A and B are shown apart, each in its own frame.
Chain A
Amino acid sequence: MSEPLLKVEQLCKSFGGVVATDNLDFDVMPGEIHAVIGPNGAGKTTFVAQIAGMLKSDSGSITFDGNDIAGKTAPERSHMGLARSFQITSVFKNFTALENVALSIQAHAGHSFKFWKRASGDKTLIEPAQKILDDVGLGDKALNLAGNLAHGQQRQLEIAMALATSPKMLLLDEPTAGMGTEESEIMRKFLNDLKGDYSMLLIEHDMDTVFSLADRVTVLVYGRGIATGTPKEIRNNAEVRSAYLGEDE
């Protein structure tokens, strides 16, 4: 049994009196997709923000790739190989799709105190960016402004930007949020293609996506992990059904 790529132990975070993350233990094995589900307000996005370094944890440890990253900033974690996507689409709308991805590559191509050469004519940024866009199927949209892309394409671009940082692990915060059935299906297929190449922490509301992609599922309720197991185990877990799945069915 190999070591987990991401290991979270006894993680806590509260906002005033509200406990958002409550002594949470969690891990992701190399190559695994570990999904986190839970009702609204369960603390899923807070959890992602803590791992990505946007929120400081109150206590607990986060180990990534053998290093304790609790004290690292978000950019430092990005450079260690953690890439996140956002629940609310946050591509740079007035940049082209190509410029969006090129910016991700630039972030990992040394410092950016380069004041003279035109960035959008820089082959060392543009060529790999175009290749990633081709890979995710947005190649022909490269020169469109990101804000003009369809919602589903923006979400794909968002993940392309994460991929451009050459990550070891993806933190995906509801990649199918706001999508119709058809778009969700495309995203599901897209993520399935990435499966195996990247470890993923997948936050998701869409049960079809979770149960078809995830190797393991953790159910979060009020910041607590109430159950972890294979999709099948979770589906049959009585506590989970009453706490969460039951509401839907």
Chain B
Amino acid sequence: MLSKLKLSILIGSFLILAALPMVAESEMIDEPFYIDLMARVMIFSIAAMSLDFILGYGAMISFGHALYLGLGTYAVGIMAHYELTNGWMQLLVCISGTAFIAFILGLISLRTSGIYFIMITFALAQMFYFLGISLEAFGGDDGLPIDTRSEFFSFFDLNETWNMYYLILGTLVVAALVLWKIINSRFGMVVRGSHSNDARMQAIGFPTFKYRLAAFVIAGVVCGLAGFLLGNLTEFLTPEYMHWFRSGELMIMVMVGGMGTLFGPLFGAFAYLMMEDFLANFTEYWQFYFGPILILLVLFAKQGLWGMLPGKEDISDE
């Protein structure tokens, strides 16, 4: 259960996000740039949250999660390239494609655990990265512009900044709600239990593998949706999103926000991207300053920013 404080912060944040476009475009502020920035933050929030779903609750430390972000952008980009711009069709391809690939990769990687799982998810994602680089038809490592954004309804044109923004916000809210429900469902209890003690779960009668695999697929699909939005927002397709560096960034967002606290990574993504934006104003070597901050956070706030708030989250134990 969430404490009242955390619930208020969460709802408050969503309300602020909902009001942001109006404020940013008002005459007083007039910084429409913030809309774009926050849209990006929200997309990475979705991706980080989906990673936390398997990493924090299921102890599946995927070091290749950004792969699904990339796959989502490729789904939009490749279809747009062939002038298949129907949003529903793109969405269907995106969901079934990421689900299929997550299923196959999960089938392989979930046979291992610990450091081997980390390495195998890393290696499999890198394979796709290099595949992306070698696909000259879609720009190779230069990437490819996406000329047309997804078309859903005639009255809901994604070329309108506000429409794009609210589509992302809506996806974020729905994803957060759905994942929260899943974590507390029977299914979620199985995933969390196998994090805590997989042998014990099997002894009381759970064939845990298929539940872990299903969780892995769910996380992949949600991250794929983030990629779908990212492709539309940036109007650009690039293998760079599948690179392990991106997967590492997602992990940092999870850690900064708080592992095993589903909503923490929303703030982790915000903090990370803001910090990047802020520090990059002063120096090209912003990571030099970001490093110590991350170390302090990991040392002194094991459950990240969200964990600093009072009210204990009922997360799976080590």
Residues of A bordering B, CB below 8 Å:
52-54, 73-76, 78-79, 83-84, 86, 90-95, 99, 103-104, 106-108, 112-120, 122, 147, 161-162, 164-165
Q: A75-B205, A112-B206, A112-B211 are in contact. Are A92 and B200 (CB under 8 A)?
A: yes
Please provide the 3 A-B residue pairs with the shortest distance between their CB atoms, ordered closest to farther.
A78-B205, A94-B317, A107-B205
CA distance A79 to B204 in the complex (A): 8
Contact B189 A73 (CB under 8 A): no
What are the residues of chain B within 8 A of A53 when measuring CB–CB? 202
CA distance A75 to B192 in the complex (A): 17
What are the residues of chain A within 8 A of B197 when measuring CB–CB? 90, 92
Q: Taking the nearest CB of chain A, how far is it from the CB of B39, in angstroms?
A: 28
Contact A79 B186 (CB under 8 A): no
What are the residues of chain A within 8 A of B186 when measuring CB–CB? 106, 112, 114, 117, 119, 122
Contact A99 B196 (CB under 8 A): no
Show 17 residue pairs from A and B whose CB-CB distance is below 8 angstroms, ordered by the A residue. A73-B207, A83-B204, A86-B203, A90-B199, A92-B200, A94-B316, A95-B193, A103-B190, A106-B190, A112-B190, A114-B187, A115-B181, A118-B184, A119-B186, A120-B184, A147-B317, A162-B204
Looking at A90, A95, A108, A115, which has the most chain B CB atoms within 10 Å of its CB? A115
CA distance A129 to B277 in the complex (A): 51
The chain A residue with its CB closest to the CB of B179 is A115
Q: Taking the nearest CB of chain A, how far is it from the CB of B209, in angstroms?
A: 9
CA distance A15 to B184 in the complex (A): 41
What are the residues of chain A within 8 A of B192 when measuring CB–CB? 95
CA distance A68 to B183 in the complex (A): 37
CA distance A21 to B211 in the complex (A): 33
Q: Which residue in B196, B200, B206 is a CB contact (below 8 Å) of A86?
A: B200
CA distance A213 to B82 in the complex (A): 76
The size class of the interface chain B forms with chain A is: 20 to 34
Contact A99 B189 (CB under 8 A): yes
Contact A116 B200 (CB under 8 A): no
CA distance A106 to B201 in the complex (A): 11
Chain B interface, >50% SS class = helix
Contact B196 A92 (CB under 8 A): yes
CA distance A121 to B12 in the complex (A): 27
Contact A74 B202 (CB under 8 A): yes
Contact A94 B204 (CB under 8 A): no
User: What total of A-B pairs shows CB separation below 8 Å?
Assistant: 101
The chain A residue with its CB closest to the CB of B317 is A94
Contact B185 A115 (CB under 8 A): yes
CA distance A118 to B182 in the complex (A): 8
Looking at B200, B201, B314, B316, which has the most chain A CB atoms within 10 Å of its CB? B200
Contact B205 A165 (CB under 8 A): yes
The chain B residue with its CB closest to the CB of A109 is B186
Q: Taking the nearest CB of chain B, how far is it from the CB of A41, in angstroms?
A: 21
Q: Taking the nearest CB of chain B, how far is it from the CB of A132, in angstroms?
A: 13
Contact B185 A116 (CB under 8 A): yes
CA distance A99 to B189 in the complex (A): 9
What are the residues of chain B within 8 A of A74 when measuring CB–CB? 199, 202-203
Q: Does residue B167 face the partner (Cβ distance < 8 Å to A)?
A: no
Q: Which residue in B182, B201, B202 is a CB contact (below 8 Å) of A115?
A: B182
CA distance A79 to B177 in the complex (A): 34
Contact B204 A93 (CB under 8 A): no
What are the residues of chain A within 8 A of B193 when measuring CB–CB? 92, 95, 103
CA distance A120 to B201 in the complex (A): 17
Q: Does residue B188 face the partner (Cβ distance < 8 Å to A)?
A: yes
The chain A residue with its CB closest to the CB of B189 is A119
The chain B residue with its CB closest to the CB of A108 is B205
What are the residues of chain A within 8 A of B201 when measuring CB–CB? 103, 107
Which chain B residues (153-190) contact chain A, with CB distance < 8 Å?
181-182, 184-190
Contact A78 B196 (CB under 8 A): no
Q: Does residue B22 face the partner (Cβ distance < 8 Å to A)?
A: no
Q: Does residue B2 face the partner (Cβ distance < 8 Å to A)?
A: no
Contact B214 A54 (CB under 8 A): no
What are the residues of chain A within 8 A of B187 when measuring CB–CB? 112-115
Contact B202 A117 (CB under 8 A): no
Q: Does residue B135 face the partner (Cβ distance < 8 Å to A)?
A: no
CA distance A107 to B214 in the complex (A): 17
What are the residues of chain B within 8 A of A95 when measuring CB–CB? 192-193, 196
What are the residues of chain A within 8 A of B199 when measuring CB–CB? 54, 74, 86, 90
Contact A52 B206 (CB under 8 A): no
Q: Taking the nearest CB of chain B, how far is it from the CB of A55, in angstroms?
A: 11
The chain B residue with its CB closest to the CB of A104 is B204
Contact B203 A103 (CB under 8 A): no
What are the residues of chain B within 8 A of A120 when measuring CB–CB? 184
Q: Does residue B315 face the partner (Cβ distance < 8 Å to A)?
A: yes
CA distance A89 to B317 in the complex (A): 14
Contact A73 B184 (CB under 8 A): no
Contact B181 A93 (CB under 8 A): no
CA distance A75 to B194 in the complex (A): 13
What are the residues of chain A within 8 A of B203 when measuring CB–CB? 52, 54, 74, 78, 83-84, 86
